[in-house]
A and B are shown apart, each in its own frame.
Chain A
């Protein structure tokens, strides 16, 4: 019997505000422990929350970006539970009346097909602090710098059926939140974290199986691995006649497996109720429409524009527009080099290959869009050959200088002086008597294919610096004159 996975995602996007959701403390990442945890963030007796205007604006931006229902009245609730990194003993969240209601978006899969995924809701809440378990022998250290950072929790419908769909959905959301500038999307720093709800059932069943929730996954690769691992684990248990307990799990990237989260083993009763320290958030149509009208370009629109403006293929446009940073990089390189196709090819080719090898995101690329564009310009104006350009690119990557410096230092400048080229051509032809005789003996229509040998020899002789187009233009008349 065939199994089918049912997957829903809860995505926590840290909003890119300057201050916390309920206090005026900074949200900057990477500060020393607890310097950004003010009295309000620590939940000191007597302190009270006041809601950050920007966090509201960003949540509404997201809602309008996916064309979801925006609730004109939303309410903060308290989710009560004890955990050391939750300083007040409750998390301020929105259960009963979230700011963003139903919405949906389309994802594109590798076979080119599209699928619509429902977004159940998106609500505002405060992030918790961080527990450092490894630092001390018998104790856990608590850093509350992150406590109170605004989060938008985006909850999907259980509409996905494979890890590929889940990753495509997560990437789509990532593209949207980064494009509209409400989240920096930095997964390594935890700005964009994904909880995966996974269950399996026999294909055709209406009833959902028991699901597990794998928490806090912080890379697209791990989403894929965690979901696939979880699907296999669940199927194996069920096929052995076992039972899947509804539970929270953690993904261990080192072991590439999920495990039960001990601290969440017991069923919790969060005792949600409306937060009495905060009042209902009421917004008007005008406010929503003003935000909608000022929304930056969304990935879908950008994809269409890429096809239109830069004549990119559907696939290239789609790949380049999903990730905001990559799309920005591409456009910057395309504009500066004035050759979008060349920029797209390089970005999806050499740049992507190197980033992958070094496990870096486009933001971390040691080669900036401007630096790449400088190189592309040198390819276009025939200063370097494509082959030489790859060497130049590696050198830029290794911080050896800019394109022009490297071309000069390594002597990679393409030879375009026809006199010099003709000299090399004549030398090679003179040394290749056997091949010249074969060329002469060949039928004229087959001679074209035989040029390859000469080309190779000439490029070798010029150390790759001769312009191939020029070589060909000079070589053919010389050989033909011998016939």
Chain B
């Protein structure tokens, strides 16, 4: 599956990472070599093999519906880049 520069731009947009146009080729080369490496997998017959998402065959535990968290707003917002009137601020969003 050969990639081109427009694929790199598309992926970078999905990942919300800006890429300097002068670096696109390098990313393209890196990605291409990684994809060449992983393409080894395509030769393996995995018909009927159940995908493994978790190494242990465990099931989800359930938490009781009891409030365990207290208001930590001040502490938690102390690490935020921009807060005003207790709201996290971002550049204007247009719906």
Contacts and interface: CB of A to CB of B under 8 A. Distances in A.
Given A19-B66, A24-B66, A38-B69, A141 B94 contact: no
Interface stretch (B19-27, B35-43, B83-91): B83-91
A83 to B, nearest CB: 8
Interface string B74-95: 0011000010111111111111
A131 to B, nearest CB: 6
A56 interface: yes
A261 B89 CA distance: 21
A190 interface: no
Contact of B89 (A40, A51, A54, A139): A139
A35 B95 contact: no
B85 A139 contact: no
A269 interface: yes
Interface in A9-35: 17-19, 23-26, 32-35
A84 B81 CA distance: 13
B34 interface: no
Nearest to B60: A279
Contact of A280 (B60, B63, B65, B85): B60
B89 A141 contact: yes
Contacts of A19: 65-69
Contacts of B64: 53
A429 to B, nearest CB: 72
A24 B60 contact: no
B86 A32 contact: yes
Interface stretch (A176-184, A270-278, A318-326): A270-278
- Where chain A touches its partner, the secondary structure class is loop
A18 B77 CA distance: 24
A250 B94 CA distance: 12
A72 B84 CA distance: 45
B61 to A, nearest CB: 7
- Where chain B touches its partner, the secondary structure class is loop
Question: Could you say which interface size class chain A belongs to?
Answer: 35 or more
A84 B65 CA distance: 27
Contact of B87 (A50, A82, A142, A274): A142
Contacts of A35: 71, 73, 86
Interface in B25-56: 53-54
B53 A51 contact: no
A17 B76 contact: no
Given A19-B67, A39-B72, A133-B95, A34 B62 contact: no
B58 interface: yes
Nearest to A17: B65
A165 interface: no
A471 to B, nearest CB: 61
A143 interface: yes
A300 B67 CA distance: 35
13 contacts: A17-B65, A19-B65, A19-B68, A35-B73, A35-B86, A36-B69, A39-B76, A56-B62, A83-B93, A84-B88, A138-B91, A139-B89, A141-B87
